[in-house]
Every structure is written in structure tokens, then in C-alpha cells.
Amino acid sequence: MSAAAVGLLAGIALGFAAFFGGFWAFLLVLVLGAVGLVLGLMAQGDVQSSDFRRRGRQ
């Protein structure tokens, strides 16, 4: 599935959440989608957990 198709599906999901559930449902879907994206990228190997850790002052 292309990135454009994934973006389209995400937009449709957010639109449905906003229409049927209101603002808080929209935010919930947005946050859970972002968490799912990060976990998927980590499982795929594109992102490592060390990328998110703060490194000491340099």
C-alpha cells in the first residue's frame, strides 16, 4: 500500500471520528494513530528506541 493510500485512510478515519465522536474522539484517534505509527516503524526497523532518548549535554 502506498503512502498516499495510507494517508487517505488515516484522513478518512480521523474525519469519521470527528464527525461521529466529536473533538475528543478525533484527538484519541490521532494520538493512537501516532503511537501505532511509531510502534510500526520500530517493528519494521526504521526507528530505534534510542532515537527518542535524550542524550547528555554536549
Q: What is the largest CA-CA distance in the chain?
A: 48
pLDDT given at position 4: 83
pLDDT given at position 58: 54
pLDDT given at position 55: 65
Q: Would you state the torsion angle of the CA atoms of residues 22, 35, 33, 46, taken in this order, to the nearest 10 degrees? A: 160
Asked if the model's pLDDT at residue 53 lies above 80, the reply is no
pTM recorded for the entire structure: 0.69
Mean pLDDT of the chain: 82
